[in-house]
Amino acid sequence: MEGKLIVICAPSGTGKSTLINRLKADYPTLEWSVSCTTRPMRAGEVNGKDYHFLAHDDFQNQISQDLFIEWARVHSNFYGTSKVFVDQGLAQGKHLLFDLDVQGADAIKKIYQDTAKVIFIEPPSVEELEKRLRSRGTDTDKVILERIDNARKELMRKHDYDFLIMNDDIEGAYQKLRDIVARIVK
């Protein structure tokens, strides 16, 4: 059976990590793509599990060696997806799960076309998004404002993908996400 690339895309603070963590627990066979990033580690994050946290020079080296299938600058930091992880996973017929920004989602869709399915998750409003970012308590004011600014741009793209879910009520949103993933991997 052909493996699929399932890309979750949402403005920062929408709740995608919360939803993805539930999905990983319910679908242990989905292989999680651990991205590389230059952003500082947040409290509670684990290097190698949430991200591979890299120094800027190391990230640039990986770009030079062509080790990323896609990489992008998001909110003043760099993020990239391992080429080997994707190639090996697909060769083994696995379903792979990604958390990418719109640039990453576009790049993966362009390369893998219908093998890639992008699920965009939107917040009920930008005001609610700001509340969630503030209540999460992981980012400075400057970072929060940068993420909100970026969110307005990403939200303009919400109709460009395969599926759209609103994360107003977390239970309802999760049920929708689970149903969509069940259809993709069936």
> Is residue 178 a contact residue for ligand 5GP (CB under 6 A)?
no
- Residue 180, CA distances (Å) to 145, 164, 173, 184 in order: 32, 10, 11, 6
- Residue placing its CB nearer to ligand 5GP in the complex, 109 or 176: 109
Whether 133 contacts 12, CB under 8 Å: yes
3 state SS of 80: strand
Partner whose footprint covers residue 14, from ligand 5GP, ligand ADP, none (CB < 5 to 8 Å by kind): ligand ADP
Q: Give least dist CB 74 to ligand 5GP, A.
A: 4
> Using the rule CB under 6 A, which residue among 5, 23, 72, 133 binds ligand 5GP?
72
- First CA to last CA distance, the chain: 10
- Give strand pairing partners of 6: 97, 117
Q: How many CB atoms lie within 10 A of CB 70?
A: 20
Tokens of 22: 């539930």
> Using the rule CB under 6 A, which residue among 3, 13, 80, 89 binds ligand ADP?
13
How many helices (H) and strands (E) are present in the chain, helices listed first?
Answer: 7, 9
User: How many residues of this chain interact with ligand 5GP, rule: CB under 6 A?
Assistant: 15
- Residue 24 CA to residue 166 CA, distance in Å, equals 20
Going across the sheet that includes 36-37, the strands are 52-53, 36-37, 77-82, 68-74
> Is residue 10 a contact residue for ligand ADP (CB under 6 A)?
yes
Q: Give least dist CB 83 to ligand ADP, A.
A: 24
- Residue placing its CB nearer to ligand 5GP in the complex, 5 or 74: 74
> Is residue 14 a contact residue for ligand 5GP (CB under 6 A)?
no
> Using the rule CB under 6 A, which residue among 7, 9, 16, 89 binds ligand ADP?
16
- Residue placing its CB nearer to ligand 5GP in the complex, 10 or 186: 10
**Matching residue, tokens 């080429």:** 83
By CB under 6 A, name the binding residues for ligand ADP. Answer: 10, 12-18, 132, 135-136, 167, 169-170
- Please report, as ranges, the residues that interact with ligand 5GP according to CB under 6 A: 12, 35, 39, 70, 72, 74-75, 79-81, 99-101, 103-104
